[in-house]
Amino acid sequence: MTRICLLLLLCLIPSTLLAAPKDEMVAFVPKNHHFGIFLQDADTQLQRIAASPLGKSIIGSMPPKSWVESRDWEALQGIEKFVSQLFGHSFQEIASELLGTGAIVVFRDANESQKEGDGLVLLWVKRPQVVQQWIQKVNAFQGVKVRSEVIQPGFSMMIRETATGKDGYFLVGNILGMSSSLPLLRDSLDTAATPSRQIPKQWIERLGATDAIFGTWLLPRAFDAQIAQQIATARESERATLETLGRYWQGVDAIGLFLRLQPEPELVGTIVGRSEDVPNGGPQFLASFLPAVPLWANRPNDVLLELNSGFRWESIAALADELMPGEAAKKWRDGLQKELAPIFGRQGWSEVLASIGPRWGLRVRSLPDRAIPSICLAIELSGGEQSDAVMNQLMPTLQYLATSLRISYNRTHPDRDQVITRTIRHEKLEIMTFQNEVGFPEGFRPGYALKDGYLVIGESPETIIDFQATRGDTGSRDSEHVLGLFALEAMRNHLKQHRKELPAWLAPAAANPASGESLETVLNDLAGIRQVELGTRVTSQRGELFLRIRPTLSIASPTKPTNPSR
């Protein structure tokens, strides 16, 4: 029966467009499950998108004639005819009258007492009496025996005995539950009847998924026994690291992944936990990785790509010491010293690493008068404007690396195609640049300098001179932090405008078949996407990592559709 109901559910979802799961549905979710899936509020959100410019464009581009004439359409019509004969209702009637305002599916993995995993489907139905008649017709059609079992007063399940085994269902109030696992059905009803056993009623809200159309969550406590067993049986050299990871795991209450459609599409991963119950290294590392103030506060319209993040050597070292205690941590540090000491000195390498951060960023901007965009990489030095001591250690290394690259280039190129170094002074700023009028594209004069406590590397002296970082602690730990931005529409426009001036690998693949897929071809394949953003939101209760997709056409509808009452 479960397979038939799931098939019908899959057929009906496009019409039903299930809406928000209610707290009463969450009350039927047993605590000892491993992960769950929910679908909610799809009717409202998809109606808005259908009425938006993007939705109208998609609907207008669909080939309805070829779809209607396809075999898939014929098969779907056959299923609808069968369902209509069996239940006395069409797909549309079932969608509008029988199925209601949400769906949750939970899964439980196999364990020592249970060889196979099992699942439970929960639906909130509008008309329980009609649904009861529908189920009776299914039972009669299959010729199964049905008997009732009372779990607690007011909470009963129906057991179906078929030729291949047993499955069951319950209908309590507006909640319909179905599963091929009778123990899971009993556990679900017992949980609903015992409030102290239930997961929080505001479960979807706690995950941060109140406005999501679809999502899934993982329940860490269901895996505690397996993790404890792995730690107990681990080799001595691995046990300390696994014990630390186990302490982090104990501080996590839930892990979620969900999809938002409004105001713009977002795929969001979320961790709900308690930072006070985990070791210090992890929270310190995340705090340094996500500085409160981004490197660039303002974002002009000509940005093609932007990265914003943080770096703190002491936080990385503290986390490494937690995860690699004892001899392993010492071996890691000795290896790092072996690589860096020849460059920065036996004592100076750790001071240089400690001085880097907490902010760094990369920004690429389109310039209207040349093909090569503006490229700026900025790395903050913790000494701020008093970073001269750090630079005294960094500068010789940078000069050595730059000289090595220049010599390597010049050695393999003719005399007329040679790189020369030149120092450019602007007010108090000294910029070391590399110039080649023959080999470099027009406007490309890369260089580096120390400016306002930052090591700034740019494709030209003008970019370095124009660099200006955000000052002051104006950010908030509860604010959104964009780690990466990819302006695909701006990239397409830049490539179109400067196609002839750019290197061959950026030109269309047809112009250079040997190069294969070109960047311009890839960007054109993503013509419906204007911008992609990767970022985080951190609150006192949870951390979120999101991937936001901003379409070329708006998904905002001109009017808000009414949501039918349940």
The pLDDT assigned to 91 comes to: 65
Cα(176)–Cα(174) distance, integer angstroms: 7
Which two structure tokens, joined as six digits, stand for 63? 């080939």
Instruction: Answer whether residue 315 is part of any domain.
Output: yes
Residues 272 and 384: their CA atoms lie apart, in Å, by 35
Q: 353 and 477: one domain?
A: yes
Mean pLDDT across the chain: 78
- Judgement on whether residues 280 and 193 belong to the same structural domain of the protein: no
pLDDT of residue 387: 54
pLDDT for 56 beyond 80: no
Q: What confidence category does residue 307 fall into, taking pLDDT thresholds of 50, 70 and 90?
A: very high
Looking at 178, 197, 216, which one is the last position of a domain? 197
DSSP for residue 111:
B
Instruction: Note down the domain range covering 144.
Output: 1-14+27-197
Q: Is the pLDDT of residue 73 over 60?
A: no
Mean pLDDT within 504-509: 49
182 and 285 both lie in a single domain: no
Burial zone of 42 (CB within 10 Å; 0-12 exposed, 13-18 middle, 19+ buried) = buried
Could you read off the pLDDT of 415-440 as tens digits, one per residue? Answer: 888 888 899 999 889 899 999 888 88
Question: Which of 154, 175, 197 lies at the terminal end of a domain, its last residue?
Answer: 197
Say whether pLDDT at 205 is over 90: no
Do 284 and 178 belong to one domain? Answer: no
Flag whether 217 is in a domain: no
For residue 437, count other CB atoms closer than 10 A to its CB: 11
Q: How far is CA 237 from the centre of its chain?
A: 33
* 166 and 280 fall within a common domain: no
Buried b / exposed e across 119-157, counting CB within 10 Å, b at 16+?
bbbbbbbbebebbeebbeebbeeeebeeeeeebeeebeb
Greater model confidence, 228 or 101: 228
Q: Which of 177, 197, 217 is the last residue of a domain?
A: 197
Name the percent of the chain lying above pLDDT 70.
Answer: 75
Tell me the C-alpha distance between 104 and 97, whole Å: 19
Closest to 491 in 3D by CA, of 510, 519, 516: 519
pLDDT class for 517, splitting at 50, 70, 90? low
- Same-domain status, 439 and 301: yes
Least confident of 179-183, 190-194, 309-313: 309-313
Query: Which of 133, 107, 143 is CA-nearest to residue 29?
Result: 107
In this model, does residue 290 exceed pLDDT 70? Answer: yes
Residues 302 and 167 in one domain: no
Token pair 């179109």 in the structure block, residue:
496
Give phi and psi for 446, each to the nearest 5: -60, 150
Cα 127 to Cα 94, 325, 518, 565, distances in angstroms: 10, 60, 56, 13
Mean pLDDT lowest for which of 51-60, 98-107, 522-531? 51-60
Q: Is residue 268 part of a domain?
A: no
Q: For residues 509 and 530, which has the higher predicted lDDT (pLDDT)? A: 530
Query: Strand runs (DSSP E) across 40-197, as ranges?
Result: 99-108, 118-125, 145-152, 155-162, 165-172, 175-179
DSSP per-residue codes, 370-420? -SSPEEEEEEEETTGGGTHHHHHHHHHHHHHHHHHHHHHHHHTS-TTS--E
Say yes or no: 484 and 340 in one domain.
yes
Asked whether residue 447 is assigned to any structural domain, the reply reads yes
Please say if the pLDDT value at position 126 is more than 60.
yes
Asked whether residue 93 is domain-assigned, the answer is: yes
Asked, as a colleague might, if the bond just before 358 is cis with ω within 30 of 0, I would say yes
User: Residue 98: is it exposed, middle or buried by C-beta count within 10 angstroms (0-12/13-18/19+)?
Assistant: buried
Provide the pLDDT for residue 154.
92
Q: What is the pLDDT of residues 479-494, one digit of tens each?
A: 678 889 999 999 988 8
Confidence of residue 359 (pLDDT cuts 50, 70, 90): confident
Q: Is 463 helix (H, G, I), strand (E, B) or coil?
A: helix
- Residue 223 within any structural domain of the chain: no
The answer to whether residue 220 is domain-embedded is: no
How far is the C-alpha of 108 from the C-alpha of 120, rounded, in Å? Answer: 9
Distance CA 542, CA 526 (A): 32
Decide if pLDDT at 473 tops 60: no
- Is there a single domain that holds both residue 184 and residue 320? no
Q: What is the pLDDT of residue 236?
A: 81
Q: What is the pLDDT of residues 212-248, one digit of tens each?
A: 888 999 988 888 888 999 999 988 878 888 888 888 8
Query: Which residue is associated with the tokens 């690493």?
Result: 353
Does the pLDDT at position 362 exceed 60?
A: yes
User: 345 and 490, same structural domain?
Assistant: yes
- Identify whether residues 371 and 502 lie together within a single domain: yes
pLDDT at position 7 over 80 = no
Q: Where in 469-560 does DSSP place strands (E)? A: 480-486, 529-538, 542-551
| Residue 121 pLDDT level (bands cut at 50, 70, 90) | very high
Residue carrying structure tokens 């997709």? 549
Contact 207, 240 (CB under 8 A): no
pLDDT at 509: 43
Would you state the pLDDT for residue 101? Answer: 65
Mean pLDDT of 237-260: 87
What is the share, in percent, of the chain residues with pLDDT greater than 90? 20
Cβ partners under 8 Å of residue 98, min gap 6: 89, 125, 126, 127, 130, 131, 134
Q: Tens of pLDDT along 340-351?
A: 877 777 766 777
Amino acid letter, 187? D
Tens-place pLDDT, residues 315-330: 888 888 888 877 777 8
> Average pLDDT in the 146-157 region?
94
pLDDT band at 25 (very low <50, low <70, confident <90, very high): confident
H-type helices in 88-234, by residue range? Answer: 91-93, 128-142, 182-193, 203-206, 224-232
Q: What confidence tier does 2 reach under pLDDT thresholds 50, 70, 90?
A: very low
Q: Is residue 285 part of a domain?
A: yes
Report CA 418 to chain centroid distance, whole Å: 46
Q: Residues 162, 305: one domain?
A: no
Structurally, how many domains does the chain consist of?
Answer: 2
